[in-house]
Amino acid sequence: MVEKIGNVFYFQWEQDLLHWIQGIRNPMLDSIVPKITSLANYGRFWVAVVFLLLIIPKHRKLGLQCTIAIAISVILCNIIIKPLAMRARPCWLEPDLLQLIKSPKDYSFPSGHTNISFVVAASVFSRNKKLGIPLLVIAALIGFSRMYVFVHWPTDILCGMLTGVIGAFSAYMIVNYINKRMGKTIN
C-alpha cells in the first residue's frame, strides 16, 4: 500500500523495512557501516577502481567501459531522475532518529551511492567475473548501508541498482560497437 508523509510517497513495506533495519543497529555495526557507506562518497572508491583499470594495459577496454558507464548513469540518475522525483530522504522525515552520518542535502531517489557502485561493479562483471563478483558484493553492501544509515528508502536502492546496471549495459554495448567499427583498436 502506498503511504504519504507530507508530499513524500512511499510503500508501507519500505518504512517497515527501514524500521526493522534500525532495530538491528548495534555499536559494532554503527562503527563499521558508515565506513562502508563512505566508500562511495563522491565515487572515490569506484573512481580509484576505474583509474586502476585504465592504467593497466590489459584492462583499458574495461576502464573505458566503466568511464562511459559512469557518465551515462550520472546523467540518468543525478541529472534527470533525482530532480524530477524530488523525493525526501527518510532522515528528513524522522530527524529525531540518531544519525550516523551527516544528512545529505540532495534528494533521495535514486541512490547515487548505489548507482555508482552498481555501474562500476556490473561493468567489471560484464567482462571479468573474477573481479566483478567481489565488486558486486561491495556494491550490495554499500546499497544496504544507505538504508542502515537511514538516508535512503529501499526503492531508492533498487532504482540505484537498476540505473547502474542500465548504465553498465549501455556502456558495454557502446564499447562493443566502437571495437567493431574501429576494428578492435581498443585493448
pLDDT at 179: 81
How large is the average pLDDT for residues 64-81?
92
How large is the average pLDDT for residues 84-100?
84
pLDDT at 186: 55
pLDDT at 108: 87
Range from 28-37, 38-47, 141-150, 164-173 carrying the lowest mean pLDDT: 38-47
Chain position carrying cell 551515462: 72
Amino acid identity of residue 38, one-letter, is: S
pLDDT at 9: 67
Domain residue ranges of the chain, discontinuous segments joined by +: 2-181
How large is the average pLDDT for residues 168-179?
91
How large is the average pLDDT for residues 174-184?
81
- What lies within 8 Å, CB to CB, of 65 at 6+ separation is 123, 126, 127, 168, 171, 172, 174, 175
pTM for the complete prediction? Answer: 0.87
3-class SS shares of the chain: helix, strand, coil, % to 5: 75, 5, 25
pLDDT at 106: 84
- Specify the higher pLDDT residue, 87 or 117: 117
pLDDT at 4: 63
Range from 31-45, 118-132, 138-152 carrying the lowest mean pLDDT: 31-45
pLDDT at 61: 87
pLDDT at 184: 60
As given in the structure block, the three cell numbers for residue 7 are: 508530499
CATH class assigned to 2-181: mainly alpha
